[in-house]
Amino acid sequence: MARYPKRQKVKRYRRSFYTREMRLKKGIGIAVLVVAVLAAAWVAAPHVLDWATHTWYTVVRDRDLSASSAVSESASSGAQSTAASEPAASSVPEKETEPEVKGTDIVTGLWAEVDVTTLTDEAAIRSAARQLKAQGMTYAILTLKDTAGQVYYASQTAVGAANAAPTQVELTSVASIFKEEGLVPVAALTAFRDPAGARADHALAIRYQGQEYLWLDNKASAGGNPWLNPYAAETVQYIGDLIAEVHAAGFDQVLLENVRFPSSTSAKQDYGTTNGVDRAGQLTADIAAWQARFGDAVTLWYGYSLAEVTGSSSQLGAPAAQLGVKNLLVKIPSSSTLDAAAREELTLSLTEAGVEHVVIRDDAASYFE
């Protein structure tokens, strides 16, 4: 049997060629690599999820998420802004705002008359206003058209311009300064008792029957004067135009006086076409026409004597409260006076008759409110 030579065994040693320092560096490198991979995954994850979600809904579910995402974002931002503003709003207490008083509003207070001929410049206007305010006044009456028919401002109407008073006031300055000083300026205009206006335009005047002559309320030798015709549409238009002018200048309240017929009634008076309407009916129509023209833009007052208010007179044809007057200024004659109880009773009776606001002027009692 053949013998083979015995293979010599080689002893092998397991030996690492990495030193300790190399192993440490290798471990650190692996750790850095893991951290980098995780960081990249963290950054990319939202985009990947958005892409996957969008792909799922648009491709698989056939839906568009752009609109819904925009709505959700706006809702989220709105909620955040609301939440941020709520603490600030709740921390600041709300101030109660006082209701604004308009120039047409009627307030309780004392009344006084102002001589317009003294209001020659701004200093005089302000001085007069401050003096009235110091006396506790609320309303200031300024006569801008008197019983002679003279107009105390630069009227643009033909009749008003023809009857300009020697003293002219600057309406805008008067109204604004009186308001600045806390007063309510009231423009007083005489209506139908207007001899100058009747002479300036005969179409506005009462005439004698069958003649072109102007009717006079007395003999010419005794100082008789013509009157404006309450039945004439031109007359109502003229008075309305004056109201419009003073309102445009800043007067929100107007006092109309002598809205009445002459005291005498005569067959010689020619009022033109009356259509069978009596005096009370015509005055009611005139008052309604002015109210319809200005509405709530101007507060219209009407001044009448105590006799015209409490009884029926030839000038009115009925008590003043029955003419459709809303705001009434009652003048007590200087020869008499009313005590507090009588004033209250008068006010109550007028209110029951349909008047909304009553002011009583009683000079003998130094009462005007």
Whether 317 and 304 have beta carbons less than 8 Å apart is answered as: no
Residue 112 pairs in a beta bridge with: 140
- Stretch among 66-80, 166-180, 271-285, 314-328 having the lowest mean pLDDT: 66-80
Angle at 333 between CA 327 and CA 337, to 5 degrees: 95
- Longest distance between any two alpha carbons in the chain, whole Å: 189
**Stretch (H or E) spanning 180:** helix 171-180
DSSP state of 205: B
Asked whether residue 323 carries a pLDDT value surpassing 60, the answer given is yes
Mean pLDDT of 124-147: 97
Mean pLDDT of 196-216: 95
Q: pLDDT-based confidence at 99, cuts 50/70/90?
A: low
Three-class SS state of 296:
helix
- Provide the percentage of residues in the chain whose pLDDT is more than 90: 69
Q: Which residue has the higher pLDDT, 294 or 264?
A: 294
Q: Which residue has the higher pLDDT, 266 or 73?
A: 266
What confidence score (pLDDT) does residue 303 get? 98
Cα dihedral value 104, 299, 291, 347, nearest 10:
130
C-alpha span between 144 and 121 (Å, rounded): 16
Taking only the tens place, the pLDDT of each residue in 1-49 is 445 455 555 444 444 445 666 667 666 777 777 666 666 666 665 665 5
Asked whether residue 190 carries a pLDDT value surpassing 80, the answer given is yes
Asked whether residue 288 carries a pLDDT value surpassing 50, the answer given is yes
Using N-to-C axis directions, what is the helix angle for 233-248 and 279-294, rounded to 10°? 30
At 23, the amino acid letter reads R
What confidence score (pLDDT) does residue 45 get? 59
Mean pLDDT, the chain, integer: 85
Cα dihedral value 109, 112, 118, 119, nearest 10:
30
What confidence score (pLDDT) does residue 100 get? 64
Residue with tokens 């404006």: 228
Mean pLDDT of 296-324: 96
What confidence score (pLDDT) does residue 70 get? 44
- What lies within 8 Å, CB to CB, of 235 at 6+ separation is 192, 204, 228, 229
What confidence score (pLDDT) does residue 102 get? 85
Three-class SS state of 6:
coil
Q: pLDDT-based confidence at 65, cuts 50/70/90?
A: very low
What confidence score (pLDDT) does residue 300 get? 98
Its pTM stands at 0.74
Asked whether residue 83 carries a pLDDT value surpassing 50, the answer given is no
Taking only the tens place, the pLDDT of each residue in 237-275 is 999 999 999 999 999 999 999 999 999 888 899 999 999
CATH topology of domain 110-368: TIM Barrel (3.20.20)
At 76, the amino acid letter reads S
Q: Which residue has the higher pLDDT, 318 or 13?
A: 318
Break the chain into its structural domains and give their ranges. 20-61, 110-368
C-alpha span between 251 and 191 (Å, rounded): 17
Q: pLDDT-based confidence at 309, cuts 50/70/90?
A: very high
What confidence score (pLDDT) does residue 58 get? 56
